């Protein structure tokens, strides 16, 4: 494959990632609504740590575990903001 083939593959993967992130955001919104109803905090450090542990365990590489966690730290930060925005 040449560079244009790899870039096309990246574009296709990005489209899949966007769809999955959107699905994750929908789930986060639903959880945010449940948290509001139950008067629970948006920020749950133990749950976030569980997510980090889970994605590191699921990580096949080539990203290092710390790098995949950095990606998820940002994802979770955005999801937390989404939950707060819906309040």
Domain harbouring 16, CATH code: 1.20.59.10
pLDDT > 70? residue 86:
no
Q: Which domain holds residue 78?
A: 3-85
Whole-angstrom Cα distance, residue 59 to residue 31?
25
Contact (Cβ atoms closer than 8 angstroms) between residue 87 and residue 33: no
How many domains in the chain?
1
Band of the pLDDT at 87, cuts 50, 70, 90? low
In the prediction, which pLDDT does 85 show?
86
Task: Summarize pLDDT for 23-73 with one digit per residue, the tens.
Answer: 999 999 999 999 999 999 999 999 999 999 999 999 999 999 999 999 999
């Amino acid at each position: 494959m040449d560079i244009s083939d790899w870039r096309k593959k990246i574009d296709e993967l990005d489209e899949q990632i966007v769809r999955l992130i959107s699905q994750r955001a929908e789930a986060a919104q639903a959880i945010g609504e449940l948290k509001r109803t139950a008067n629970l905090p948006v920020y749950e450090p133990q749950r976030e740590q569980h997510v980090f542990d889970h994605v590191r365990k699921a990580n096949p590489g080539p990203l290092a575990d710390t790098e995949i966690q950095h990606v998820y730290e940002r994802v979770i930060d955005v999801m937390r903001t989404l939950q707060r925005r819906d309040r």
